[in-house]
Structure 1
Amino acid sequence: MNLISIRIITEDVKGLVSFYEQLTGMPAIHYTDDFAELKTRSATLAIGSTRTLQFFGGAEVAKAAQNRTAIIEFMVEDVDSEYQRLADSLQPYIVQVPKIMPWGNKSLLFRDPDGNLVNFFSPISPEAIKKFKN
C-alpha cells in the first residue's frame, strides 16, 4: 500500500490553489474548475470543490473548512529561510514560529485560508535526518 494523495475540499478552489502555489513555489495542475493537484516527489495535494462531493455520495460526505484533526506536512530544506520568505504573507495564519520539536524536527505551523493546519518542517537531529534520508 502507498499513500498517494491528500484531498482538501473547499468552497474556493481558485483561492486555495493560489495559496498553495505561492507556499510551495510549484504550479498546480488544473484539471477542471473544481479540481487541481500539486504534485510533489512523494505525494500529491489535491484540492477539490464542494461540487465534487456529488461523486462521493453527496454534500454531507465532507465539509469545507471544518478540519481540526489533520496536519498537512511539507518537509523543506530550511524552515527558517521558508519562514523568512513567507512571513509577511503568512502573518495572519501563523500558529507557531519555527521551533525545535522533541522528535528532532524544526517546525513552522500555520493555517491555510480554510483553516487547515500546515506544518513546514526540517529534520535537524541526527535521528530525524536518518529517518528521512532516501
Structure 2
Amino acid sequence: MNLASVRIITDDLDRLVVFYEKVTGVSAKRPAPVFAEFVLPSCTLAIGHSQTVHLFGAGSARAADNHTVIIEFRVHDVDAEYARLKPLVDEWVQEPATMPWGNRSILFRDPDGNLVNLFAPVTEEALERFSGRL
C-alpha cells in the first residue's frame, strides 16, 4: 500500500491554492474548477472545494475544521524556508527548532487553520531514519 494523497477541504479553493503554490513552489493542476492537486515526488496534496464533499457522502468532511492532522513537507533548509515564508504566513506556531527526534522544524497554519510542518532531519539518527526516503 502506498499513500497517494492528502486532501484538504476548503470553502475558498483559490486562496488555498495560491498559498500552497507559494509554500511548495509547485503550480497546482486544476482538473476541475472545484479541485486542485500538487503532484510532488513523494505524494500529492489535493485541495477540494467544500462543494465536492457531497460526492463522498453527506457530512464526510467539513472545511477549516481540522484539529488532528499536520501536513508535513520535508525540505533541505528549514531556516531558509522560514525566512522565505515569514512574510506569507499569518500564524506561526513554532519558529525554527530542533525536535527531540532529530528533525529541525517550523510549524504554521495555512489560511484555513490547518497545521503545516516543514522539517529536515539534522541529527545522525534522523538522517539515517530518512535515508532511502524521498
- When normalised by structure 2's length, the TM-score is 0.96
- Tell me how many residue pairs correspond in the alignment: 132
Give 5+ residue unaligned stretches, structure 1: none
* Shift, 1:61, TM fit: 1.2
Which consecutive aligned stretches of 4+ in structure 1 deviate over 6 angstroms post-superposition? none
Indicate whether 1:67 and 2:66 are aligned.
yes
**CA distance in 2: counterparts of 1:49 and 1:86, whole angstroms:** 25
Computed over aligned residues only, the root mean square deviation of the Cα atoms, in angstroms, reads 0.7
| Structure with the largest fraction of helix | 1
* 1:81 and 2:80 are equivalent in the alignment: yes
> How many angstroms does 1:114 deviate by?
0.4
The corresponding residue for 1:125 is 123
- Tell me what 2:25 maps to: 25
Q: Classify the secondary structure of the residue corresponding to 2:88.
A: helix
The residue identity in structure 1 corresponding to 2:69 is A
Gaps of 5+ in 2: none
Match of 2:99 among 94, 98, 101: 101
How far 1:118 sits from its partner (Å)?
A: 0.3
Helix, strand or coil for the counterpart of 1:18? helix
Identify the range of structure 1 (80-89 vs 69-78) with the bigger mean alpha-carbon deviation: 80-89
What amino acid maps onto 2:131 in structure 1?
K
CA distance in 2, matches of 1:64, 1:110: 18
Q: Percent identity?
A: 54
- AA at the equivalent of 2:64: A
Cα distance in 2 between the residues matched to 1:68 and 1:55: 23
| C-alpha distance in structure 1 between counterparts of 2:15 and 2:63, whole Å | 13
**Structure 2 equivalent of residue 57 of structure 1:** 57
Q: Distance in 1 between matches of 2:29 and 2:91?
A: 25
TM-score normalized by the length of structure 1: 0.96
- Inter-partner Cα distance in structure 2 for 1:73 and 1:115: 14
Q: Tell me what 1:46 maps to.
A: 46
1:49-75 Cα deviation digits (max 9, x unpaired): 1111111012x1111000010000000
Q: Equivalents in 2 of 1:118, 1:18: separation in Å?
A: 15
Q: Partners in 1 of 2:38 and 2:91 — Cα distance?
A: 21
